[in-house]
Amino acid sequence: MTPLPDRFCPRDGTRVPMDSLAWCCPACRGPLDLDFAPTPASLKSLVGRVNSLWRYAECLPLATPSVSLGEGRTPLIPLNDGVSAKLDFLMPTLSFKDRGAVMLAELALRLSPRRVVADSSGNAGTAIAAYCARAQLPCTVYVPDGTSAKKLEQIGAHGARLEVVPGDREAAARAARAAADEEGTFYASHVFNPYFLHGTKTYVHELWEDLGGRLPEVLVVPVGNGTLLLGAALAVAELYAAGLIDRRPALYAVQSAAVAPLAHAWEEGADDLVGVTPMAPTVAEGIAIPSPPRARQILRAVRESGGAFLTVTEDQIRHAQRDLASRGLYVESTGVACWAAVREGVPGNRTAVVPLCGAGLKTGLARAEEESSGP
């Protein structure tokens, strides 16, 4: 079996052996990155390979998967003349989080922990629960009070233990991290564990293959903790370094206007979060993260790509969800944020791809406040 690469702290350089269950930098408690710089395969060499994200084996830090559910290779369809959508809600657990969850479950299986813990606003938790079930690993998922009932049902159906934490998304994360410090525990964190990012990057590798060896001018990505955006940045860097693309697409990060700490930092020209962002109600629950641990990396990735931050209102999200449904695509409210941001035009009239990240069955239609409160 190929040795696992080491992890390191991007802030202070502290290194962590990959066979360790340590989930964060022991010096600063920050998230870790992976010491891994692969070279992607050419288009021609991909022909005839397995029809899942594991076809990009050269770019994955784990090989020969045992817990795969056939994740990846989701369709790419046009929405209008300049914008296409990648249908990542057609994953096995109905969200893009499967791309990273399969990597974490595969890693956990190799490290043989006593138990797996995760925290989530829903989709990451359902994905971790499903892949742990596939790997026959005991799993506990911490979720905030108010998480969609359908997501809770899905997590429980996969056999995971549910811990509903009073408070917001940050409260659930704190509870999970406290549990993660217990001996023999693998923290399947989609934020702190870099293996998750190396799973989400396959989103861009697939786009590159689907578009015949090129990428759109703009990648529009929803951002809460930033795992899809940072994965996209990794893939773009890999393809560019290998000479498989001759230009890098701009990364446009989309946040809900109700909870937009990164967009605020961007407007201030800051390299990190500015002030304290209060948690406010939003139908985009999956990206309502007031203090993302990888904030500096996210801001830097967007800046270096020549991209920008966009915010969308609750009404824009609701209208975008109904618009997509009228086109045959039933997507959860968080998953339509990117379409809400660009449905009336991409900045500079450039070509773009948006991810539709989660199925509408997970949350139902987002309703206006007056609708949900009733007469």
Please report, for the domain that includes residue 322, its CATH number: 3.40.50.1100
Q: Would you say residue 264 lies in a domain?
A: yes
What value does the mean pLDDT of the chain take?
Answer: 94
Q: Quick one: 258 and 344 in the same domain?
A: yes
The packing angle between helices 123-135 and 149-157, to 10°, is 10
Q: Quick one: 206 and 351 in the same domain?
A: yes
Q: Please, which pLDDT band fits residue 63 given cuts at 50, 70 and 90?
A: confident
Is the entire prediction scored with pTM above 0.85? yes
The reported pLDDT for the residue numbered 369 is: 58
Q: Please, which pLDDT band fits residue 374 given cuts at 50, 70 and 90?
A: very low
Q: Quick one: 151 and 232 in the same domain?
A: no
Average pLDDT over residues 182-187: 96
Q: Quick one: 327 and 293 in the same domain?
A: yes
Given a contact cutoff of 8 angstroms between Cβ atoms, the answer to whether 236 and 207 are in contact is no
Q: Quick one: 172 and 272 in the same domain?
A: no
The reported pLDDT for the residue numbered 375 is: 44
Q: What is the residue whose two structure tokens read 């359908």?
A: 150
Average pLDDT over residues 70-84: 97
Pick the last residue of a domain from 162, 187, 212. Answer: 187
The reported pLDDT for the residue numbered 104 is: 97
Average pLDDT over residues 149-156: 92
Residue among 140, 119, 142, 171 nearest 290 (CA)? 171
Buried b (16+ CB within 10 A) or exposed e, 118-131: bbbbbbbbbbbbbb
Strands 76-78 and 83-86, how do they pair? antiparallel
Q: Quick one: 232 and 145 in the same domain?
A: no
Q: Quick one: 125 and 244 in the same domain?
A: no
Task: State how far the alpha carbon of 365 is from the alpha carbons of 11, 293, 312, 321, in Å.
Answer: 41, 30, 17, 7
Q: Quick one: 204 and 331 in the same domain?
A: yes
Given a contact cutoff of 8 angstroms between Cβ atoms, the answer to whether 209 and 46 are in contact is yes
Q: Quick one: 232 and 322 in the same domain?
A: yes
Average pLDDT over residues 153-158: 95
Q: Quick one: 211 and 331 in the same domain?
A: yes
Range of the domain at 314: 76-95+195-362
Specify the number of domains making up the chain. Answer: 2
Query: What stretches of the chain adopt beta strand conformation (E)?
Result: 7-8, 15-16, 33-34, 76-78, 83-86, 115-119, 139-144, 161-165, 185-187, 218-222, 250-256, 308-312, 352-355
Average pLDDT over residues 48-75: 95
